[in-house]
């Protein structure tokens, strides 16, 4: 377990946002859930002048999650984790999130953060971003800062493109820009997934570096149909059960071909998971995790049996396999 401390000047105040939290009796400790995400859609539109890419994505928050415990201490930032995440303390995104918000509000105290890690690291599931969002939300509540959700999302965007989605606190959202311009997508119901992390990392920057945006024109041909899902206004809901085929057919990841080319085993996982009559499987984010869309838990369990029957145990020895659902 890696633990570290750094002195920090701190002291001001920030908005409570909707979040399931647990306070200790003395109100000096808060515990939060940091859920993972998958991208039901990920379209790469073009490259920006700042070297990032403009995207169109649909985020789904899922039940796989880390646990974050934050306690007030007199000074500094102390972070511990039950997994090796970074070699240098200041490189941990949870540390960066604490540093950012404490400095932004000139807090003259510090925090001790413990992360119970269940989301695989660098897996295309947003685990680090979710941890960072939980730290922003937790410190906001713990110090009674009263920061607005918009303010926390702006702080989160400085840490990573996915952080604002986790602060936004909604099961489904449309992401534009680099993924930080968000709109709630009112989908009612829950999807189920079999989620496979193949046991190795794929660096996001490497995937984008190889991506040839000039070859993405055809893959964007159904953007009009895709955007029809975003026209719902007010409190109107999109019933997942009635729109299942549309959502499944529109699901696509422009980065998938690059990731599969780098690691062919990912293509094998996709083919196995998508082999059922109603099946559909894809890479999440920049990979390497793969998930399939299922109507219910039974279908997800059947996908697991099918996968394990198709892939020898020696090949999947390092895999992590999860049955997950939409996190409401």
Closest CA to 152 of 171, 132, 122: 132
In angstroms, rounded to a whole number, what is the distance separating the alpha carbons of residues 80 and 84? 9
Strands 181-184 vs 110-116: parallel, antiparallel or unpaired: unpaired
Please count the CA atoms within 13 angstroms of the CA of 1 that sit on its side-chain side: 11
From the number of C-beta atoms within 10 Å of its C-beta (0-12, 13-18, 19+), residue 35 rates as: buried
- Rg over CA atoms, the chain: 20
Report residue 85: phi and psi, to 5°: -105, -50
Active-site residue identified among 162, 169, 180, 254: 162
Closest CA to 287 of 163, 150, 124: 124
Let me know if 183 is a catalytic residue. no
Beta carbons within 10 angstroms of residue 215's beta carbon: 10
Let me know if 37 is a catalytic residue. yes
Are 125 and 198 a contacting pair, CB within 8 Å?
Answer: no
In angstroms, rounded to a whole number, what is the distance separating the alpha carbons of residues 257 and 247? 20
Active-site residue identified among 37, 96, 117, 141: 37
By annotation, the residues acting in catalysis are: 37, 162
């Amino acid at each position: 377990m890696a633990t570290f401390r750094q002195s920090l000047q701190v002291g001001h105040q920030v908005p409570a946002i909707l979040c399931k939290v647990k306070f200790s009796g003395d109100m000096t400790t808060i515990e939060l859930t940091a859920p993972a995400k998958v991208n039901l859609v990920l379209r790469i539109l073009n490259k920006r002048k700042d070297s990032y890419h403009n995207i169109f994505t649909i985020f789904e928050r899922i039940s796989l999650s880390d646990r974050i415990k934050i306690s007030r201490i007199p000074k500094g930032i102390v972070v511990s984790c039950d997994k090796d995440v970074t070699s240098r303390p200041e490189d941990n995104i949870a540390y960066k999130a604490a540093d950012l918000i404490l400095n932004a509000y000139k807090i003259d105290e510090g925090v001790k953060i413990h992360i119970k890690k269940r989301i695989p690291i660098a897996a295309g599931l947003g685990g680090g971003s979710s941890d960072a969002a939980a730290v922003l939300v937790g410190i906001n509540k713990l110090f009674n800062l009263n920061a607005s959700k918009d303010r926390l999302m702006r702080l989160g965007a400085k840490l990573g493109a996915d952080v604002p989605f986790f602060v936004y606190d909604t099961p489904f959202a449309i992401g534009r820009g680099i993924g930080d311009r968000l709109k709630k997508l009112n989908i009612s119901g829950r999807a189920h997934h079999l989620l496979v992390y193949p046991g190795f990392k794929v660096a996001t920057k490497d995937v984008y570096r190889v991506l040839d945006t000039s070859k993405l024109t055809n893959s964007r041909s159904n953007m009009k149909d895709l955007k029809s899902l975003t026209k719902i206004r007010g409190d109107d809901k999109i019933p997942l059960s009635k729109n299942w085929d549309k959502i499944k057919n529109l699901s696509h990841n422009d980065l998938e071909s690059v990731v599969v080319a780098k690691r062919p085993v990912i293509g094998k996982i996709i083919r196995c998971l998508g082999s059922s009559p109603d099946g559909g499987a894809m890479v999440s984010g920049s990979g390497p995790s793969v998930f399939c869309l299922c109507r219910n838990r039974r279908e997800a369990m059947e996908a697991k049996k099918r996968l394990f029957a198709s892939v020898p145990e020696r090949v999947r020895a390092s895999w992590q396999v999860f049955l997950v659902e939409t996190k409401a």
